[in-house]
Structure 1
Amino acid sequence: MQEAFTLQRLNADSPHVPVVAKWTFETWGQQLHPGRTFAEAVEETRQECGKRGVPSLFVALENGVAVGTASLIAEDIASRPELAPWLASVFVLPQWRGRGIASQLVQRVEQEARENGIECFYLYTPDQQALYQRLGWQEQERIAYGGETVTIMSRQLSADID
């Protein structure tokens, strides 16, 4: 039986913002942004909490407790400004993985992009290519970024019909 969870857009004043910032800071923060403080990570997370379109940040909640997140942002790899916007910061707490939460978060970000006229957007991942391919993402290239090899993937939304 699948646990019930809901997806919610985060506002900058949400009590979940520091939780999401902690996840992303501890998972990727020092590797991708050496020297950034946790306070700076919280502020950046607040800036990702747009009202619609880019930026937007979503959280998966189970009984009001945040268990996962994903966002739609303008830029994720500064050296690739021609690629925009980005699906970013897809994260689910380890004890909640394998329950379809990441897939539903990705699909919610895709819906947000589609509703705001975005026809193509991007992500990068070092190790979750299979998940994204199952969801319709296509591999574009592999590059060195943040001290590891990552795959840049894209998702065409213009041909999708709901």
Structure 2
Amino acid sequence: MHQRLDWLTNHPQHSSMFAEWIHRQFAYEYVGQPLAEWQCEFAEGQANGNWQCLIALDQDRLLGGAALAKADLAQRPDLGPWLACVFVTPHARGQGLAERLIEGICARARENGVARIYLHTQDKRDYYAKRGWAVQERFQGWGKEQWLMAKNL
């Protein structure tokens, strides 16, 4: 498998599919937002910078992605930018792809002059902690306990 990373803006044909994967994977976050509406917001986010998405490809087959988001937690508009939308298809997992995507997002944030990046997670706290992210706080969201984490770049 020949994997490469590139920005979604260079492959807009994959935007709707990736947005659908995210909508399905994190369904609890999109309860009030229909898929088509999210797909439009995500596609527009590639152009306006709200959801800068780095994707992983094998030839032209989409394997996953991650986004640098301006805002990803409604109750914390004071924080940002965010690592968001991290997802790798099941058949491409276990090869360090998510880690490469996350590093790519952190590198973009650093290039943009960002000193600190945030994320929130429901069940991947240990994964991120092993990679240098620190818990800032616990909070209730979408009916479950969530973790707000940050990393200095």
Q: TM-score, normalised by structure 2?
A: 0.92
Partner residue of 1:123? 119
Instruction: Give the superposed CA RMSD.
Output: 1.7
Shift in Å, 1:135: 2.0
2:148 matches 1:152: yes
Count of aligned pairs between the two proteins: 153
Once residues 8 and 91 of structure 1 are traced to their aligned partners in structure 2, the CA distance between those partners, rounded to angstroms, is 15
Partner residue of 2:16? 18
Gaps of 5+ in 1: 158-162
Shift in Å, 1:81: 1.1
Of all paired residues, the percent bearing the same amino acid is 33
Partner residue of 1:160? none
Moved over 3 A (4+): none
Match of 1:81, SS? coil
Gaps of 5+ in 2: none
Once residues 48 and 17 of structure 1 are traced to their aligned partners in structure 2, the CA distance between those partners, rounded to angstroms, is 10
Match of 2:150, SS? strand
Contact 1:48–1:71 (8 Å) recurs in 2: no
Check 1:114–1:92 CA distance in 2 against 1; reply closer, same or farther (3 A cut). Answer: same
Q: TM-score, normalised by structure 1?
A: 0.87
Contact 1:50–1:57 (8 Å) recurs in 2: no
Once residues 32 and 129 of structure 2 are traced to their aligned partners in structure 1, the CA distance between those partners, rounded to angstroms, is 33
Contact 2:83–2:119 (8 Å) recurs in 1: yes
Partner residue of 2:46? 49
Shift in Å, 1:48: 2.3
Per-residue Cα deviation, 1:70-98 (whole angstroms, up to 9, x for no partner): 00111111111111111001001112111
Contact 2:9–2:46 (8 Å) recurs in 1: yes
Question: Which of the pair is proportionally richer in helix?
Answer: 2
